[in-house]
Each structure stands twice: as structure tokens, then as C-alpha cells.
Amino acid sequence: MKTKKHNSKNLSISSRIAIATSSAIVFTIIVTVIASSIFSYIAPSFYNFSSVTTNNYSLLNQIQWNQTMITITDQFASNEPDDVKQRSLCRITEHFKDFGTQIYITENGEEFYSNTDEKTITTLAKSISKSDLETKLYSYCDNGLVIVDKYNVNGKEYKIIIANKDYTVTPNAGTNRENITSLLFSKVGFIIILEGLLFIFSIVLMSIITSNIITKPIKELTKGANEIAKGNLDYKIDYDSTNEIGVTANAMNDMTQKLKESIDERNQIDQSRKEMIAGLAHDLRTPLTSVKGYVEGIRDGIANTPEKQEQYIKTIYSSTLDMEKLLNELLDISRLELGKIQLNVEPTNILSFIDEFVEEKMVKIQKYDLDYTYNKPTDIETIMVMLDTDRFSRVLSNIASNSIKYAKPNEKLLIDLTIQNYEKSVIITITDNGIGIDGDNISHIFDTFYRADHARTKTREGSGIGLAVCKEIVSLHGGSIWASSTLNKGTTIHISLEKIKEVNNE
Ligand code: ADP
């Protein structure tokens, strides 16, 4: 049952229109046929077709005469004895006299039934119709009415003569308008109007049903669009179908979902930004207060020995370095984000560049008690890429210092630096065995001000800027940067750069 409902919901709009239109036609025809059948069933008694009720010529009167003749001849064909037939004929024609209508029936030339005598009726009929009454005749004229008919049934010949001198034919006078008015107000007019009304009613009814079938899902869509416009992004359009509207509803639901996600994300970034600005302000104040305190100490003569003064100056210098680092980071990211930094690229052998980096930086950071490994292709001497060496070593330094920052407290830090050579690109990976990043955070770590551990508030422990800077610099090189990580196992940062040339070892 449920499947059936589901299938009908999946009907395409064009099928719905086709079904609705054909049902409108079929329904209208059925209503009209039923109405006509009911009418034809009740019409004979309504119009009294079976007996003649008027002495005036009209369509109805003709139908009545035809029906009366059929009823009379039906008697001839019946197997009843003659006296029964005659009694029936008497019943059928008993009201003839009320209208002055005479009837004379013969069977094989012998009188069979009449309400007059032969001479009277033949004289009257001949005077009205000017006919010898030997051939069939249905004459309705202003002189009167004459019907002569003959039937051969069961080997017998019946002849019927009917005559009435009081019969009148109303002249076809009057305007068309009067005719139409009289037709409208006649019984026939009433039936025609009734049929017409029924026809219109069934069409209107079917149009309402049709439009409901088509407009209901559209109303659902409109409601959904209005809810989205009002900002209700939790609203789901409840229309599950594979037809055109179902596809649109799904697309709108997806769009709302994506919109909601991106708004949530933006809110989260805004929140991080606010937190970071608060953190930066706080972290700038700390070295600033320290500088102020030590400068006052020197001014007020508290640092009264040359050793003390030197120590004060060292502390002041280190505090200003902290402030400078922080401000430089901020300046860098805002310049990068505003597109105000131009790279100073030149063709560089990435292998020797990384060799130098390892020698200079990795050896230096060994004071942090770490082990490092370095792997590079041995069969190639030169892999040329376009590089801004200063900025690119900043990228590698940021990544390496993150490995140090996010090392496990109780485990020796291992950093691996590997260069992989591909047909068109070179990929540099830096892997550590640190605390790792969980799945929810990994896609955001390159966003500005994003920190996976929101609890850290000291900017010295991380400002959320380092990887954003890396991403901007790598993008400016036309490369890409991405991360893979397992929580509590470690993190790998991958950087891919396009090659311009390579030279193989002989
Ligand atoms: P931060 O200054 O906070 O380190 P980054 O932009 O360098 O900012 O890094 C963003 C966030 O990504 C960090 O706050 C940290 O949570 C996470 N992260 C970056 N590198 C690593 C890593 N090697 N191991 C674990 N987490 C890392």
C-alpha cells in the first residue's frame, strides 16, 4: 500500500497533467452519460411519450404519435387472443376521444378495433388529407391530422386509420428570440440547461482536483522557500519523490544544509578571530608591561650594577622580540590575505634547497631533543621548481615548529622529511609522531586563527596563524598543501609543487 502511494508521488508533472486532463474528460463523459441515461429513463414518463397529450403540432407531439403507433403495432405482434389485444388497444386509445381523435383498425380487411365507423372516418380523413387512404400517410396540417399505416404481422395485414379535424399546426410565426425563449423555458430547454450545467460542473470539479494534484507539491516548495527566506535554515521540505519537484525539493534541502554549515563555519571562525584578538591583546600586554617595568627599573636606578643593567636590557630585548614576532605574523597573514605580497620566485633546485634547510634548521632545532630522518630520491640530482626561497623556508619552519609545539610530552619527538618525485610534481612531506589532530579539526587547520585545541589562550602557544600563512605562500607558488593525521599517533603535512625541469644522475 505504501509502495503504491510512493509510486504515485513519483509521477512526473507531465504525467500528472496528462492523467488529470484525461480523467477530466473521462469523468465529464461519465457524468454526462449517467445524466443522459437517467434522463432517458425518466423522460418517457416526464414527457408522457407513450400517449398523445396535445392536439397541437410539435416535436414532442410527433414523438408521442410515433410512440403510440409503436405501442399499437406491438399488440398485433403479440400472441394474445384477439379479445385481449382489442382490450389493450381500447386502453391505449381510450383518451383519443377527449381530443376528438378517431381510430379505425382492420385485420385482413375486416374491422378489428375502432372508436368510430368506417364511413365516418374515411370521409373525414379524405376531406382532411385529399388522399385515397390506400398508401401510408402521416399528415399533420392545419386542416387536421391523418395517419394511415399498414403492418404485416404473423401472416395478417393490419391497416390503421387515424383522423382528427381539430388538430392545429401553430404557424411558424414569431421571432427567433421568442422561439429560443420558449425553447429555454420548455421541458427540453430545461434538460439541455441541466445537462450543460452538469457538464460545466464536472469540468470545474476536475479542474480543481487537477490543480490540487499539481499545485500541492509546488505549495510545499513555496513554503520551504519562504521559511529559508525567513532564515529558518532548520526547515526541511517534506516532499519525497523522484519527479521534477522532488528533485528541486532535494536540491533546496541540500542548499539549506550547505548554507547552514557555511554560516556555522563562519560563526566559528568569527568566534576564533574574536578569541585570538583578545589573546593577542593580552599577549602583547605581557611583554609590554615587562619592558615598561625594566625600563623604569633602569630609570629609577634599581639596576644599579652593570651586571643588573645588562640583565634588564636582555630581558627588554627578548620581550620586544616576542612582540615583534607576534606583530610580524599578524602583518604577514593580513598582507597575504589581502593579496599584497608579491613572491620573488626564481628557478631553484628543490633538492639542494631542502638539503640546506635540513642542515641549517633541523640541526638547530635538535636542541629540543628530537630525532629526524631525511629521505630524497637518489637517482636524481636536480629537480627544478619556481621558488621564493625565503618565504618557502618560512613554510617549512612553521611546519617543523608545529611538530615541536605539538609533540607528546613523554615521548621523544621524531620528524621525518621526505621528498617524492612524480612525473609533473614534487611532493614534500613532513611527518611527526606528535599528539595528532582529530578528524573534525583537520579540515580547518589551514584556516586563519583556527586552533584545534580551543582551550589554549596564550598566543605564544599558538596563534592559529602559522598554517594559514603556509597555505597562502604555497598557493602563491601554484602548489597545494594538505594534512593527514591520526590522533595520538602523529601528523603529516604534504606540499606539492609543480616541476619545471629535472636532471637525472649519470
Ligand atoms: P598555531 O599557531 O596554533 O600552531 P597553526 O596555524 O600553525 O596555528 O596550526 C593550527 C592548528 O593546527 C594548531 O593550533 C594545532 O591545533 C594544529 N596543528 C598544527 N600542526 C600540528 C601538528 N604537527 N600536530 C598536532 N596539531 C597540529
| Pairing of the two strands 346-349 and 380-387 | antiparallel
Quickly state the pLDDT bin for 442 (edges 50, 70, 90).
very high
406 CA to middle of ligand 1, Å?
7
On the question of pLDDT at 18 being above 80, the answer is no
Instruction: Using the CB atoms, write b or e for 181-212: b if 16+ within 10 Å.
Output: eeeeeeebeebeeeeeebeeebeeebeeebee
Q: What is the pLDDT of residue 24?
A: 72
| Ligand 1 binding residues, C-beta < 6 A | 398, 402-403, 405-406, 432, 434-437, 445, 450-453, 462-468, 491
Q: What is the pLDDT of residue 172?
A: 52
Q: In sequence order, which ranges of 105-186 are alpha helices (DSSP H)?
A: 118-129, 176-185
Q: Which amino acid is at 478?
A: G
- Helices then strands, counting H and E runs in the chain, come out as 14, 13
Q: What is the pLDDT of residue 275?
A: 72
Contact 413, 428 (CB under 8 A): no
3-class secondary structure, 484: strand
280 CA to middle of ligand 1, Å?
17
Which residue has the CA at smallest separation from atom 16 of ligand 1?
452
Question: Tens digits of per-residue pLDDT, 267-296?
Answer: 887 887 787 777 778 778 888 998 999 999
490 CA to middle of ligand 1, Å?
12
Q: How far apart, in whole angstroms, are the C-alpha atoms of residue 354 and residue 418?
A: 10
Average per-residue pLDDT for the chain: 84
Most confident stretch, 61-75, 144-158, 476-490: 476-490
Q: Pick the closest to residue 405 from 432, 386, 377 (CA basis).
A: 432
Q: What is the pLDDT of residue 3?
A: 43
Which residue has the CA at smallest separation from atom 8 of ligand 1?
464
Q: What is the pLDDT of residue 90?
A: 92
Residue 436 alpha carbon, nearest atom of ligand 1? 25
Question: Tens digits of per-residue pLDDT, 453-467?
Answer: 655 444 455 677 889
Residue 468 alpha carbon, nearest atom of ligand 1? 6
Contact 298, 319 (CB under 8 A): no
Of 258 and 360, the one with more pLDDT: 258
462 CA to middle of ligand 1, Å?
7
Residue 446 alpha carbon, nearest atom of ligand 1? 6
Q: What is the pLDDT of residue 458?
A: 47
Which residue has the CA at smallest separation from atom 20 of ligand 1?
402
Which residue has the CA at smallest separation from atom 12 of ligand 1?
445
Question: Tens digits of per-residue pLDDT, 327-354?
Answer: 887 888 888 878 788 899 999 999 999 9
Question: Tens digits of per-residue pLDDT, 196-226?
Answer: 888 888 778 877 877 777 777 788 888 888 9
Q: How far apart, in whole angstroms, are the C-alpha atoms of residue 504 and residue 502?
A: 7
Quickly state the pLDDT bin for 58 (edges 50, 70, 90).
confident
Question: Tens digits of per-residue pLDDT, 385-408?
Answer: 999 999 999 999 999 999 999 999
Q: What is the pLDDT of residue 183?
A: 52
